[in-house]
Structure 1
Amino acid sequence: MALVSAWGLASLCFATSGYAYAGDIVILKSSEQLFYTQAVEGFQSSVPRQTSLKEVVVDSADVDPRALGRRVRASNPDLVFAVGLKAALLAKVELPDSPVVFCLVLNPEVHGLPADNMVGIVTRLSPEAQLTAIRKLVPAASRIGLLYGDPRIDSFVTDAQKQAARMGLDLAVAQVAGPRDVPDRARGLIASIDLLWLIQDPTVISEESLAFLLQTSMDAAIPVFGFSSATAQQGALGALFVDPRRIGEQAGRLARDLLKSQRNRSRLLVPPDRPELAVNLNTAEYLESPVDQAVVRTASVLFGGPGATAQHRNR
């Protein structure tokens, strides 16, 4: 709380592109997780240098959320940047009159986000974006398997089914009742598909189940399309993902726009500016499923192939 109690946020005004606006921003970070820190770094690099930034970790033993909310309100910041679910919920409950930009919240609608004073950047990529990437990566895959169990993503699955039909793809959906149901349902699904599509679903995805799904698919010579560069590194053929640092940069641009226009009401969810593709060339070689070089050139992260184990591109 020493960091919070030491706040003496002075009003700082400056001009950008003909607009004069105040620049006191409070950053609420859910925890010290690396991806939250990376988002904050991206945000800091994207706002004007004159901006006054104060950062607080919400999930800390010496921070009381209500007391923190009172202190932030008293400091009267021009904008709040909330990173992660705990930070976004604190901002929703305690800071209803401050403009808020939030990010890295999965399924925000389930938690009543965004509120009227918020703009949020979506973390889960749309079915259209993911299915388009799948088709480019594995053009021969016409029957795609999707395993899910979390009822909070029912609408995503429904949208995915509609999008697959529009694209002429057959989406086979298998719903699990719980984590123990994953192995049997996965084996049955993998036996009848051309590609397994993994999405962020806590009912299906854990460290143990992910290893099982990747190995079982590999044994059946079925490629896997994942949701993070880590899933590609572990053996998925590819993954479409959002880079937290780039999400932070996008949040910084949104913050600039909000401060310039001085709009206090938003209630918007916006897609990430630039989803990124990771491809595992070793997996492609093992599965004898060569990836088109045009797709390889668009990938931000390559695992395997000539040179280093992981090549980071388009950074």
Structure 2
Amino acid sequence: MKKGLFLAILTLVILITGCGKKEEKKTKIGITQIIEHPALDASKEGFLQALEDAGYDETKVEIEFQSAQGDFGTAQTIANSYVQDKKDLILAIATPSAQAAYNTTKEIPILITAVTDPETAGLTGDNISGTSDMSPVKQQMELVKKLLPDAKKVGIVYNTSEQNSEFLVKKAIEECDKLSLEVITSGVTNVNEVSSALDVILGKVDVLYVPTDNLMTAAIPLVLQKTNEAKVPVIGSIKDMVEQGAIATETIDYYKLGYQTGEMAVEILEGASIKDMPVETLKDTQLIINKRAAEEMGISLDNIDGLDKAEIF
């Protein structure tokens, strides 16, 4: 009897100990990004930091990241894999990845970021929300007038298969029209077409504007090489472009945008319904100037207001 009682107690202790060691099920988050470049990477890092700051570290959250390397078909494959893996939440960075995710599921919550106009892109529904990176195009075009008062023609090379880019080009044309600036555009569909498009357009314009187009952002080293050879200044749309050699931009902080999206993710993980969460934007913008690039192009900064608050390289 004593031996039987001992074995019964030992079994109970083992069962209790085993239950105590059982790991809590982790929340599974899939991050899909159309291509890797500094702005989109910053969005991802901001998102992850917001999760960590709220206590959602690797002990609570299992995160899988995949980049589509600029290919929509790959983005669709990534989205399919996340649905098959039954992710609890998907973060889609940039419009093509967001569209791929939304094409695939209407049930898993999808947070988007670095998407300019979700409505135009068809990204509205009960399981999708996030943040928009709507560029301050008006201020960016005004920079053209302030930095290059004699400029008449603005060139834009953009990806015709990206809806965000189509939207931004239309907005740039509207703003340039108000400033009596003519816009000359050239559409491309892949990075192999960028060089020849630049060769054609740079001989026709006084300045090149590069919007938040993922293909053109990734190709900015080539863009700056070509524009420097042609002595055509560049007005960018994100900080990285100016760091690499564009003259200036007025832009948003993509890290802060991603962080804001991460805060939305925390709300969802803690029980909030995504269908009750409207798409958010960043109101604050920052003037960024590459002083050396301006000097090399013979451009004066005297007409620029707020230089004391600008980030200058």
TM-score (norm 1): 0.65
Query: Is the deviation greater in 197-206 or in 231-240?
Result: 197-206
Question: 1:230-245 maps to which residues of 2 (within 5 A)?
Answer: 230-245=240-255
Choose the corresponding residue for 2:231, options 221, 224, 230: 221
The yes-or-no answer on 1:8 pairing with 2:58 is no
Give, in whole Å, the separation in 1 of the partners of 2:215 and 2:279: 25
- For 2:203, the equivalent position in structure 1 comes to 191
Tell me how far 1:50 sits from its aligned partner: 9.1
Tell me how far 1:57 sits from its aligned partner: 1.1
Tell me how far 1:237 sits from its aligned partner: 0.8
Identity %, equivalent residues:
18
The yes-or-no answer on 1:155 pairing with 2:157 is no
Q: Secondary structure at the match of 1:294?
A: coil
Tell me how far 1:245 sits from its aligned partner: 1.9
Choose the corresponding residue for 2:131, options 121, 143, 147: 121
- The letter for the 2-side match of 1:65 is Y
- For 1:66, the equivalent position in structure 2 comes to 83
Q: Secondary structure at the match of 2:288?
A: strand
Tell me how far 1:195 sits from its aligned partner: 1.2
Tell me how far 1:231 sits from its aligned partner: 2.0
Q: Secondary structure at the match of 2:299?
A: coil
Choose the corresponding residue for 2:153, options 143, 147, 159: 143
Structure 1's 149 and 298: CA in aligned 2 closer, same or farther, altered over 3 A? same
Q: Where does structure 2 lack aligned partners over 5 or more consecutive residues?
A: 1-21, 68-77
Tell me how far 1:94 sits from its aligned partner: 4.4
Tell me how far 1:8 sits from its aligned partner: 2.9
- For 1:82, the equivalent position in structure 2 comes to 91
Give, in whole Å, the separation in 1 of the partners of 2:81 and 2:197: 43
Choose the corresponding residue for 2:305, options 277, 294, 314: 294
- The letter for the 2-side match of 1:291 is L
The yes-or-no answer on 1:246 pairing with 2:263 is no
Tell me how far 1:110 sits from its aligned partner: 7.6
- The letter for the 1-side match of 2:233 is P
1:166-219 C-alpha deviation (Å, 9 max, x unpaired): 233222223347655544442343233221111244665654xx4443233223
1:263-285 C-alpha deviation (Å, 9 max, x unpaired): 54258544333333332111111
The yes-or-no answer on 1:29 pairing with 2:31 is yes
- For 2:294, the equivalent position in structure 1 comes to 284
- The letter for the 2-side match of 1:38 is E
Choose the corresponding residue for 1:96, options 107, 111, 114: 107
Q: Where does structure 1 lack aligned partners over 5 or more consecutive residues?
A: 10-24, 73-79, 304-315
Query: Is the deviation greater in 160-169 or in 129-138?
Result: 129-138
- For 2:178, the equivalent position in structure 1 comes to 166
Report the structure, 1 or 2, having the larger helix content.
Answer: 2
Please identify the structure whose Cα radius of gyration is greater.
2
Q: Secondary structure at the match of 1:213?
A: helix
- The letter for the 2-side match of 1:82 is L
> Are the equivalent residues in 2 in contact too, given 1:114–1:268 (CA < 8 A)?
no
The count of aligned residue pairs is 270
> Are the equivalent residues in 2 in contact too, given 1:136–1:295 (CA < 8 A)?
no
> Are the equivalent residues in 1 in contact too, given 2:235–2:246 (CA < 8 A)?
yes
Give, in whole Å, the separation in 1 of the partners of 2:309 and 2:124: 32
Give, in whole Å, the separation in 1 of the partners of 2:60 and 2:139: 34
Q: Secondary structure at the match of 1:104?
A: strand
- For 1:15, the equivalent position in structure 2 comes to none
> Are the equivalent residues in 2 in contact too, given 1:30–1:36 (CA < 8 A)?
no
Q: Secondary structure at the match of 1:57?
A: strand
